[in-house]
Structure 1
């Protein structure tokens, strides 16, 4: 039952009661009281009748507006949650992409280092050079150019210039150092081949291994030599 119908029912009930009271009043000889009650009821009915019928529609519109606001708020919350979820997913994808790129970079660097190490060790073996009874400086240098990586040759050459002036039979009178790179003692070079005293290729191979193992490269050894006048 609507608000208006309830109030109408109340007015009708009050009017009916008042009417009955008026009749009773007349019967009891008090017509004035009955007239007053009847007029009051009529006035109440008139005031209630003045309430606009559209009030019910306004209440319904207000309810619909509240529902619409609630739905809009829910939609906004859902949209916000969707945006946040999309941002989280994108952040995860970005992090994964960065990790993948970093892993790929590390792998490339590792491969490059491995290739560098391989290039350092991938030199011609001393036994691949024909044996000679003696070697000139130019011949020894030619052998070294074939055994030393191109970007490291000058550093290697600088050290040999200072240590032996490219004399593969250089024998230090104050120590046991011997050969192109002045291995001390010279017998260390037997780890490459037993002909270390007479074969410059054997000495070059040993010197290259020593510089790579201790200083990372001939250029690393040369940097140390410049600072200390030995290596």
Structure 2
């Protein structure tokens, strides 16, 4: 089994081939917008969100997962190569992923009930110390009047710490809101929900949040 770098899906793809064999079929497309790195990643999130909505689950090799019966390799620096486990053994991240987010009110990305979540009221990042967000959940950052509407969508098991880091990047006047999500009790589940939100933002506004994927003006 390969390491998780240079591509984090490699161990899972190896395990699928080892379990099901003998190989894969693939197809590809090269839309003009894919030449732009941010657009390409936004389009990927939109495709995954659409797939999850249609099928009720994520593609098995996305979000750092591994299939039942296999141990996942570490990153190359860790030096641990995974492989098939003994009968009856399994890793924690083979548990079912989180179902797709409900696409309720999906077009209004700054509303309090966007995508079926119970978002907090908006606060300025300057006032983050007066807010007591939950540890586990989702959050969004934006500037009033901006297009596209959101600057960033994130997930965390420690939202307060993330907001502290984001204030340096986005400034004290940026707005944020959070949604408590104790059901997102594993990193891959939070990333599934985050990807749904980014993908929907892309589908509605034809662009990911303005500072997503390392972009910031």
Please give the TM-score of this superposition, normalised by the length of structure 2: 0.22
- Hey, which of these two has a bigger chunk of helix by percent? 1
| Structure of higher RCO (CA pairs closer than 8 Å, 6+ residues apart) | 2
| Greater strand content | 2
Q: Which has the larger radius of gyration?
A: 1
